[in-house]
């Protein structure tokens, strides 16, 4: 399945492509058609599964089809950080669609409050809010949501844990009864079911089973710049006494380069990537299984589906692009009750991506100090937010911003802010 299968408008598809998403994640595959159909939805999914885009994409699509000049979608979430992250995803995915969004949270100054109020009054398409701040808007009668069409509760379990139950119910009392409601939660304790029973109407349910690496895998990481990775891997392999080893790199070019550098350094290894003929790949796998060769360097082509028992070491020479790929990659070791080691090299550009992996697997990976002679990683010169998203700027209906397909800018990073982005 691809994103084209959802029949999104070309502008939305452009947003998806510019984010570098090539195929929908399982939660997206399941939820997008249901949201487009107008169904209420209760989805059990954790951070890292692509849950945000699972509702943001169809809601942007609907906003484009039925733009009204009123706030159409309200997303409630527990924290300011999450509100900003969701807003960034709306901004990035809706970049070419002219969809306006704003993150509304407490703690700002009077100017921020006024900006937020103005944006909502002028009918920005999507409001992402923490409950406390929104209550103060609604209670003063400063803003109205009487034309609202969609309500999303994101991380509903965390909102209840943080004591937002009554605030949520109060906010809902200001919303039209005729609306589509989507509830996302990492866990489904009874209190979430009760909340869903009150707020949702005949909901569809989705459960995304989260993959966790096997218990037996020792997971470690090193913070290391690209220029020192070769030295580091050489030391690890020389000192470690590992039998069979798989090294993953993100592209076939990197695989080829690393393969030749490792050979020069005296290691016997084999590159495995999509440029090889099927016959050659099979030959390598066979020799690896038979222990005739002990080290393969490959792309993610390797990570799914190969079934070789007893791999001792998996090295992620760079952090995999998709958190699920991390689980697939390291799942090549410690199969069938055996233990194995998974080591990941993290450079400064990959820190955020690595944090998402840790969120997905629900634990921190052990940081191992670099051995003597391998300097500590340098801080990135780039912005702290490494979200792959198009540049921020004016956008919105009728705006003069880059809401034009020919005006696509190259993706850049940046942090979100609370100001309205719709003109
Ligand atoms: P979430 O679970 O919403 O917190 O998303 C986790 C990360 O996955 C975010 O950085 C998204 O940008 C990214 N992501 C979401 N959907 C996809 C996709 N279909 N392909 C690749 N990355 C995605």
Verify that 168 and 233 share a domain, yes or no.
no
Of all protein residues, the one whose alpha carbon is nearest to atom 9 of ligand 1 is 50
pLDDT value at residue 220? 96
Average pLDDT rounded to a whole number, residues 273-299 = 87
pLDDT value at residue 139? 86
Angle at 86 between CA 202 and CA 116, to 5 degrees: 100
Helix ranges, 316-403 (H): 323-330, 351-361
The CA 328 to ligand 1 mean position distance, Å, reads: 16
Angle at 43 between CA 38 and CA 45, to 5 degrees: 140
Q: Record the tokens describing residue 259, joined without a space.
A: 């393969």
Where does a domain end: 207, 240, 268? 207
CATH code for the domain of 87: 3.40.50.300
Among 70-74, 97-101, 187-191, 265-269, the range scoring the smallest mean pLDDT is 187-191
The CA 265 to ligand 1 mean position distance, Å, reads: 37
By three-state DSSP, how is residue 261 classified? helix
Verify that 249 and 128 share a domain, yes or no.
no
pLDDT value at residue 115? 86
Verify that 244 and 150 share a domain, yes or no.
no
> Could you give phi then psi for residue 70, rounded to 5 degrees?
-120, 160
- Number of domains into which the chain is organized: 2
Verify that 224 and 200 share a domain, yes or no.
no
Average pLDDT rounded to a whole number, residues 357-381 = 86
pLDDT value at residue 365? 94
Of all protein residues, the one whose alpha carbon is nearest to atom 1 of ligand 1 is 50
The CA 212 to ligand 1 mean position distance, Å, reads: 17
Of all protein residues, the one whose alpha carbon is nearest to atom 10 of ligand 1 is 387
Where does a domain end: 153, 186, 207? 207
Which pLDDT band holds residue 392 (cuts at 50, 70, 90)? very low
Determine how β-strand 217-223 pairs with β-strand 295-298. Answer: unpaired
> Could you give phi then psi for residue 416, rounded to 5 degrees?
-80, 165
Percent above pLDDT 70 for the chain: 85
Average pLDDT rounded to a whole number, residues 290-306 = 80
Examine the pLDDT at 184 and tell me if it is beyond 90.
yes
Among 45-54, 173-182, 326-335, the range scoring the smallest mean pLDDT is 326-335
Number of residues that make up the chain: 423
Of residues 379 and 217, the one with the higher pLDDT is 217
Examine the pLDDT at 62 and tell me if it is beyond 50.
yes
Verify that 165 and 244 share a domain, yes or no.
no
Verify that 161 and 111 share a domain, yes or no.
yes
pLDDT value at residue 211? 63
In a domain, 94, yes or no: yes
Ligand 1 atom having least distance to the Cα of 19: 12
User: pTM (2 decimals)?
Assistant: 0.60
Of residues 303 and 149, the one with the higher pLDDT is 149
Among 72-86, 212-226, 229-243, the range scoring the smallest mean pLDDT is 212-226
The CA 24 to ligand 1 mean position distance, Å, reads: 9
Give 85's contacts (C-beta < 8 A, 6+ positions apart).
52, 387, 416
Average pLDDT rounded to a whole number, residues 373-385 = 68
Verify that 194 and 336 share a domain, yes or no.
no
Of all protein residues, the one whose alpha carbon is nearest to atom 6 of ligand 1 is 48
Ligand 1 atom having least distance to the Cα of 387: 10
Which pLDDT band holds residue 107 (cuts at 50, 70, 90)? confident
Helix or strand (DSSP H, E) at 411: strand 411-412
In a domain, 365, yes or no: yes
In a domain, 51, yes or no: yes
The CA 356 to ligand 1 mean position distance, Å, reads: 9
In a domain, 324, yes or no: yes
Verify that 142 and 36 share a domain, yes or no.
yes
pLDDT value at residue 209? 66
Verify that 236 and 103 share a domain, yes or no.
no
In a domain, 314, yes or no: yes
Which pLDDT band holds residue 390 (cuts at 50, 70, 90)? very low
pLDDT value at residue 18? 92
Highest mean pLDDT range out of 34-48, 103-117, 334-348?
A: 34-48
CA distance linking residue 71 with residue 67, whole number of Å: 9
Verify that 279 and 356 share a domain, yes or no.
yes
Average pLDDT rounded to a whole number, residues 290-307 = 79
Report the 10 Å Cβ neighbour count for 357.
25
Verify that 196 and 240 share a domain, yes or no.
no
Residues lining ligand 1, CB < 6 A?
Answer: 21, 24-25, 28, 47-53, 322, 356
The CA 49 to ligand 1 mean position distance, Å, reads: 6
Ligand 1 atom having least distance to the Cα of 48: 2
Average pLDDT rounded to a whole number, residues 271-287 = 85
From 44, 53, 93, 320, the mutation candidate for ligand 1 (largest count of ligand atoms within 8 A of CB) is 53
Highest mean pLDDT range out of 18-32, 171-185, 210-224, 310-324?
A: 171-185
The CA 270 to ligand 1 mean position distance, Å, reads: 32
In a domain, 357, yes or no: yes
Which pLDDT band holds residue 412 (cuts at 50, 70, 90)? very low
In a domain, 212, yes or no: no
Q: Record the tokens describing residue 336, joined without a space.
A: 């069938």
Of all protein residues, the one whose alpha carbon is nearest to atom 13 of ligand 1 is 50
From 52, 60, 154, 250, the mutation candidate for ligand 1 (largest count of ligand atoms within 8 A of CB) is 52
In a domain, 379, yes or no: yes
Which pLDDT band holds residue 416 (cuts at 50, 70, 90)? very low
Average pLDDT rounded to a whole number, residues 39-57 = 90
By three-state DSSP, how is residue 185 classified? strand
- Domain ranges, residue 71: 3-207
Of residues 56 and 392, the one with the higher pLDDT is 56
pLDDT value at residue 396? 36
Average pLDDT rounded to a whole number, residues 364-385 = 79
pLDDT single digits (tens) 322-361: 787 888 788 777 654 567 899 999 999 999 889 988 988 8
Of all protein residues, the one whose alpha carbon is nearest to atom 15 of ligand 1 is 50
Ligand 1 atom having least distance to the Cα of 52: 3
Average pLDDT rounded to a whole number, residues 192-219 = 86
Where does a domain end: 207, 238, 268? 207
Average pLDDT rounded to a whole number, residues 111-129 = 89
Which pLDDT band holds residue 316 (cuts at 50, 70, 90)? very high
Handedness of CA 283, 288, 367, 362 (dihedral sign): positive
CA distance linking residue 61 with residue 6, whole number of Å: 10
Verify that 140 and 14 share a domain, yes or no.
yes
Report the 10 Å Cβ neighbour count for 152.
24
Examine the pLDDT at 304 and tell me if it is beyond 70.
no
CA distance linking residue 60 with residue 128, whole number of Å: 13
* DSSP string of 146-175, one letter each residue: TT--EEEESSHHHHHHTT-HHHHHHHHHTS
């Amino acid at each position: 399945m691809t994103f084209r299968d959802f029949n999104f408008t070309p502008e939305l598809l452009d947003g998806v492509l510019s984010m570098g998403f090539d195929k929908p994640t399982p939660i997206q595959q399941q939820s997008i058609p249901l949201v487009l159909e107008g169904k209420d939805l209760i989805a059990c999914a954790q951070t890292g599964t692509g849950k945000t885009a699972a509702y943001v994409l169809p809601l942007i699509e609907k906003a484009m089809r039925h733009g009204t000049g009123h706030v159409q979608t309200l997303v409630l979430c527990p924290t300011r950080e999450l509100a900003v992250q969701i807003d960034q995803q709306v901004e990035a995915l809706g970049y070419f669609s002219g969809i306006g969004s704003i993150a509304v949270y407490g703690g700002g100054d009077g100017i921020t409050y006024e900006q937020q109020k103005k944006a909502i009054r002028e009918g920005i398409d999507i409001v992402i809010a923490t409950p406390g701040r929104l209550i103060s808007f609604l209670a003063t009668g400063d803003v109205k949501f009487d034309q609202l069409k969609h309500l999303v509760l994101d991380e509903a379990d965390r909102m209840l844990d943080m004591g937002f139950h009554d605030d949520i119910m109060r906010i809902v009392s200001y919303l039209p009864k005729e609306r589509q409601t989507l509830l996302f939660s990492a866990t489904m304790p009874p209190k979430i079911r009760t909340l869903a029973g009150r707020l949702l109407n005949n909901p569809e349910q989705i459960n995304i089973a989260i993959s966790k690496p096997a218990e037996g895998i020792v997971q470690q990481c090193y913070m290391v710049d690209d220029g020192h990775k070769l030295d580091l891997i050489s030391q690890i392999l020389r000192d470690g006494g590992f039998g069979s080893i798989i090294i993953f790199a993100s592209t076939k070019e990197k695989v080829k380069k690393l393969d030749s550098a490792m050979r020069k350094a005296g290691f016997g290894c084999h590159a495995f990537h999509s440029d090889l003929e099927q016959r050659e790949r099979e030959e390598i796998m066979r020799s690896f299984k038979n222990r005739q060769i002990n080290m393969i360097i490959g792309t993610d082509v390797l990570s799914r589906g190969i079934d070789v028992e007893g791999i001792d070491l998996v090295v992620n020479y760079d952090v995999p692009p998709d958190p699920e790929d991390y689980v697939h990659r390291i799942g090549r070791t410690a199969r069938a009750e055996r233990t194995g080691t998974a080591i990941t090299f993290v450079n400064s550009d990959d820190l955020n991506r690595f944090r998402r992996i840790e969120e997905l697997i629900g634990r921190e990976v052990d940081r191992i100090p670099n051995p003597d002679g391998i300097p500590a990683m340098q801080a990135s010169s780039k912005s702290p937010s490494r979200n792959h998203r198009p540049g921020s700027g004016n956008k919105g209906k009728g705006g003069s911003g880059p809401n034009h397909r020919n005006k696509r800018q190259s993706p850049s990073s940046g942090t979100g802010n609370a100001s309205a982005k719709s003109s």
